[in-house]
Structure 1
Amino acid sequence: MTPSSGADPRLVASIRDLLAARDADKTICPSEAARAVGGDDWRDLMQPARDAAQSLVELGEVEVTQKGEVVDVTTARGPVRIRRKR
């Protein structure tokens, strides 16, 4: 499936790749995808990374969690994690 047109395809691919490299029950931080794409200039990619995660939520591929509970990344404040959908 294709992510929403507003999501950066590099970040979507990075999230998918990072999750594929982890055990099924492991999570990643959006900053990991931002760092993989942006290198030293990753901080400006944090919101786009969260947007990419949201597009993958909409596709049913991932869940976004905070303190272990599934949350809506569009309204969650503070650090979140991304995992494959259970």
Structure 2
Amino acid sequence: MAETDRRLARRLETAITSLLERRAETASICPSDVARDVYQGDDQGWRALMEPVRQAAWRLVAVGEVEVTQGGRPVTESEARGPIRIRRARP
């Protein structure tokens, strides 16, 4: 992974955890919230960050920091189809 890709990956992971920290303990966020938070522009360029945000979420799932959900229930990467939400990992 190139250094610029690593920096972006870290920024996205940090944005996910930061956005979750600012929400209620049980709240979830949409990947688009993260993409918009990180994107530095006024146009629709944040959309190009959607897949990198999803990848960042799955990395955080792997280390037990977050869960990815659909319909309010945790899903694995291989199960996820369509829109997802991200929330803090639950015990």
Runs of 4+ in 1 over 4 A off after TM superposition: none
Share of identical aligned residues, percent?
53
The alignment of Structure 1 onto Structure 2 pairs a total of residues equal to 81
Aligned-residue offset at 1:72 = 1.6
Contact 1:50 1:73 in 2 (8 A): no
**1:19 maps to which residue?**
20
> Which of these residues, 43, 50, 58, is aligned with residue 47 of structure 2?
43
**1:58 maps to which residue?**
62
Report the TM-score when normalising by structure 1.
0.86
For the residues of structure 2 that align with 1:47 and 1:76, how far apart are their CA atoms? Answer: 13
Aligned residues: CA RMSD: 1.5
The structure with the largest helix share of the pair is 2
Computing the radius of gyration from Cα coordinates, the structure with the larger value is 2
Report the TM-score when normalising by structure 2.
0.82
Aligned-residue offset at 1:73 = 3.3
Residue 70 in structure 1 maps to residue 74 in structure 2: yes
Q: Which runs of 5+ in 2 are unaligned?
A: 1-5
SS of residue paired to 2:23: coil
